[in-house]
Every structure is written in structure tokens, then in C-alpha cells.
A = this chain, B = another copy of it.
Amino acid sequence: MRQVTVAHAHCDLFCGVYDPAQAKIEAMSVMKAAEKYQASDDPVFRGRAVHIKEERAELVKHHLMVLWVDFFTEEHRKEFDNLDDLFWRAIHQAGDAKKSVDPADGQKLVDLIDEIADIFWQTEKAKTSGVYPPS
């Protein structure tokens, strides 16, 4: 079946634009929503903060999953042998930050994404796929 081979070649081709910036921006929203929850005593505002945090944390999870399986390759996983564990902890932490209203949980999530970004920018592939390299 000819298409299949072609499609696999496209697989690499399609690794077009990836950047941990997407996960990080949403994670910072998660953290700030928790801060604002803590700073307010209006139940409507607090309800909205929790809800927005929920959505943002879900987006973090999605962006991280995409990085893990679409950007990072078998080879990267051998080179950076804590990669799977780091992603499990980061995506799991996004779940914790979803459940919690403690800004520290959001901060932990941001820190884990920074660790991922650090590895991301060490790869050759990031040079053509990434958009916001560390300055």
C-alpha cells in the first residue's frame, strides 16, 4: 500500500511548528488564576477563576502530550532518559494544579515546563521547529 510509506515520510515533514511556549503561557494562566482566587472573596469571581484554571490546565495537558509524542522522537527519549518521567510528572502536575487553588501548584507546573523547554532547546530539531528560543 503505497500511501502508507509516503505518509510515514510525511510524519517527519509534519513536525513543523512546536514550542513549549504554548504550554508555558497556559500554565502561567493556571498559576495566576489561583492567585486571583486567593485574593478575592466574591463567590462568583472565585467560581470563574476555578473554571478558567480548569480549562487552561486541560490545554497544558494537551500541549505537553503533543510535545511528548509528536516533537520528541525515540532517539530523543534515549538521549534524555528522564524524558518520559518528566512528562508524566508535568502532565500529572497539570492535573494537580487543576484540582488545587494553591498558586504553588501552578508554579510547580511552570517549573516542570521550564525543565522540558530546557531539553527542547538542546535538540537540533528545535532549531527549525521552535519559535521562541531562550534569549
Binding site for B on A (CB under 8 A): 1, 3-4, 6-8, 10-11, 13-14, 16-17, 19, 21-22, 24-25, 28-29, 32-33, 36, 38-40, 42-48, 50-51, 54, 61-62, 65, 68-70, 77, 84-85, 88, 91-92, 95-96, 99-102, 104-105, 131-132, 135
Contacts and interface: CB of A to CB of B under 8 A. Distances in A.
A101 B43 CA distance: 11
B6 A42 contact: yes
A36 B9 CA distance: 12
A22 B131 CA distance: 10
B88 A8 contact: no
A1 B99 contact: no
